[in-house]
Structure formats: C-alpha cells, structure tokens
C-alpha cells in the first residue's frame, strides 16, 4: 500500500491518478474534507481508504501499523503563501512532517515529501544550498526548516527520504485553491469571463508582465515521484522545475492561443505583495540530473495546451474563440 497525504489536493490527486495508471498498489488518501466540495477530486480516482489528517497523525504518533507500506508520499500542507499565522503554519507544515519522518524512519518506510521553491525567496540563485535559501514568508520558512531537519538526518537514515522543491506548478485539479491556483488557470477563467488576461504591471525592475517564473506542469511532477518510487536508493532535497524561466506574458499568450483570441490587461502591482513576491525563479536541476532523472520537462506552451485540453475533455471549459 502507498499512503498519499493531501491526496484530495492539487498535486496529491494528480499523484494518485498517476499511481492508478502505473501501479497495482492500494492507495490510502489522507486529507481534510471539511470543505465537502473537495470530494469531487476523488470521485474518478481509485483508492482503498481515506483518513482525516488529524486521525492519521494520531495513529502515527501512537506508532500504529498501517500494514505493508511501500511508501508515504507526503503532499499535505498549508500552501497559502499569504498566511501569516506562524503557529498554524509550523504545526501543519513542520511539526506534522517531523512526526511522519520519525515514523517512516522507525519502520524503514520511504518518504517522498513536498518542499517548495519558496525556500529561496529573495535569492536570485536557485540551487539546493543554504547560501541561497532566503524565504520571504513563514510558509517558505516552514518548508525550509523541515528540509534542514531532513538534511541533518540523512546520514543516519534507515530508509529513503526525498524532498521535492516544487517551483510554479500548474495543471488539473487546482480549482479549489482559489487565489493560490496557477496563473494559467486564472488567465483561462479571466479570458472566458471578460476576454482579457490580467497581469501585473512592472515591478522589481521588470517590465509589465515580464516577471519570470519556472512554470512546471503537474504531470512532470508525477513523473519525478514515480521515478523516486523506483529508485529507493535516492535520497536528498531536489529542485523540481523545468530548468527554464518564462514570463507571465508567455503564459498569457499560450492561454490566448488555445482559446483562439483575447487580450492582455496590466493592473497595478498589489501593495500587500511588495517585499514578499518572487519576480524571478529558475530551478537549478543539477542535483536531480546527477541523481539519474533525465526526462525533459514540458515548456509553458506545451504544458498549457495539455492542461487546457484536459479541462476541455472533462467539460470544464471550452475555447472562447474570441
């Protein structure tokens, strides 16, 4: 059996779908369905059981057995970069992860977990080294602190521990994330609603819409997780992005191209994001490549087209042809 925490979330549900297609293992999903609408994400997935995140943590802390476990894929977290309740963030993202790490090491169970490119924050170098880790918010700090804990424990680890520093992920099943959903998702909705994609004006020395991010399609994330499941000797903290930077303008044009028309509108940069916004990211993939993952990642044009094709196939959107 494989446990996927956050399995009713964006990346977690895509990983469950990947596992359904690539392995016969039973899957136990751990999540929080207090927002009952999230059940829709699980409907088309095959899972053997579900546990609320608090019930799961209680069982982990009591050192209870979950039977024969192949791995734990830990995607559950508070991913709101604008959340400033530090106690809540550290409880959910750090303390919860530490308890799970200790359990997995005690029982020699591989742990693959979600970190974040937010650990780099104000840095302009995106290499997995402490010199470049400068989070701009408590979310990024909570992820960094757990990465540091993992690094300290690696030398004595009894089982695989792999942290994945996701860059800007986009793809199906992110609609519940609200403002934290990808720009590709928001641009598509904006185009459908009003015929324009709204981008930020210039900031941090970048021209309007020219802020750059490493946008990575969620299917590529799943491929990395699948590779790690087949490489239990591989441990460490790894960047997971495309290794390239593309502008928000390029994302908007990819969305406009798929819809068959539309325009770009630039809006003032929000005051509340000043000082806590990454205007540039680009994953250094050296460590991931050295570890043996040699599959290329989709660029924005390819990934956005695949994403919107999937939304259209499920009946969620259709081209506007404006």
Closest listed residue to residue 153, CA positions, set 116, 93, 106: 106
Report the length, in residues, of the chain: 322
Distances in Å between the alpha carbon of 158 and those of 39, 118, 218? Answer: 35, 28, 29
Q: HSE (CB half, 13 Å, CA atoms) of 317?
A: 24
94 as an active site residue: the answer is no
206 is catalytic: no
Among 139, 170, 185, 307, which one carries the catalytic annotation?
A: 139
Give the C-alpha separation, 255 to 215, whole Å.
Answer: 14
What whole-number distance in Å separates Cα of residue 231 and Cα of residue 241? 19
Under the phi-then-psi rule, with left for phi > 0, alpha for psi from -120 to 50, and beta for the rest, what region is 165?
beta
Radius of gyration of the chain measured on its C-alpha atoms: 19
Do 76 and 9 contact (CB within 8 A), yes or no?
yes
The alpha carbon dihedral of 169, 175, 181, 185 has a sign of positive
Catalytic residue among 53, 177, 206, 266, which? 177
Distance CA 153, CA 159 (A): 11
Give the CA-trace dihedral at 249, 168, 82, 146, to 10 degrees: -160
Strand, helix or coil for residue 214: coil
Residue bearing tokens 């590709």:
184
What contacts 101, CB < 8 A, 6 or more positions away?
Answer: 111, 146, 149, 150, 153, 161
User: Count of CB atoms within 10 A of residue 97's CB?
Assistant: 26
Catalytic residues: 139, 177
């Amino acid at each position: 059996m494989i446990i996927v925490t956050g399995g009713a979330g964006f990346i977690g549900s895509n990983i469950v779908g990947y596992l359904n297609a690539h392995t016969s293992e039973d899957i136990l999903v751990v999540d929080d369905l207090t927002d009952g609408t999230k059940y829709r994400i699980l409907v088309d997935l095959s899972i053997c059981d579900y546990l609320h995140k608090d019930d799961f943590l209680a069982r982990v802390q009591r050192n209870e057995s979950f039977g024969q476990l192949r791995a734990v894929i830990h995607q559950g977290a508070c991913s709101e970069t604008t959340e400033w309740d530090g106690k809540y963030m550290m409880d959910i993202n750090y303390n919860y992860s530490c308890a799970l790490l200790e359990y997995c090491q005690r029982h020699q169970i591989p742990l693959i977990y979600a970190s974040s490119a937010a650990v780099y924050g104000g840095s302009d170098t995106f290499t997995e080294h402490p010199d470049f880790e400068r989070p701009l918010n408590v979310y990024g700090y909570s992820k960094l602190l757990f990465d540091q804990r993992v690094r300290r424990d690696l030398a004595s680890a009894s089982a695989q521990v792999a942290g994945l520093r996701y860059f800007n992920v986009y793809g199906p099943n992110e609609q519940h994330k609200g403002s934290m959903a990808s720009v590709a998702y928001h641009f598509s909705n904006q185009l459908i609603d009003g015929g324009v994609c709204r981008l930020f004006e210039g900031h941090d020395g970048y021209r309007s819409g020219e802020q750059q991010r490493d946008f990575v399609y969620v299917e590529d994330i799943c491929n990395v997780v699948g590779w790690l499941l087949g490489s239990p000797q591989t441990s460490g903290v790894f960047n997971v992005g495309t290794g390239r930077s593309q502008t928000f303008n390029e994302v908007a044009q990819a969305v406009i191209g798929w819809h068959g028309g539309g325009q770009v509108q630039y809006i003032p940069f929000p005051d509340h994001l000043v000082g806590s916004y990454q205007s540039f990211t680009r994953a250094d993939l050296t460590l991931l490549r050295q570890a043996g993952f040699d599959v290329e990642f989709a660029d924005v044009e390819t990934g956005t087209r695949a994403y919107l094709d999937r939304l259209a196939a499920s009946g969620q959107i259709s081209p506007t042809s404006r």
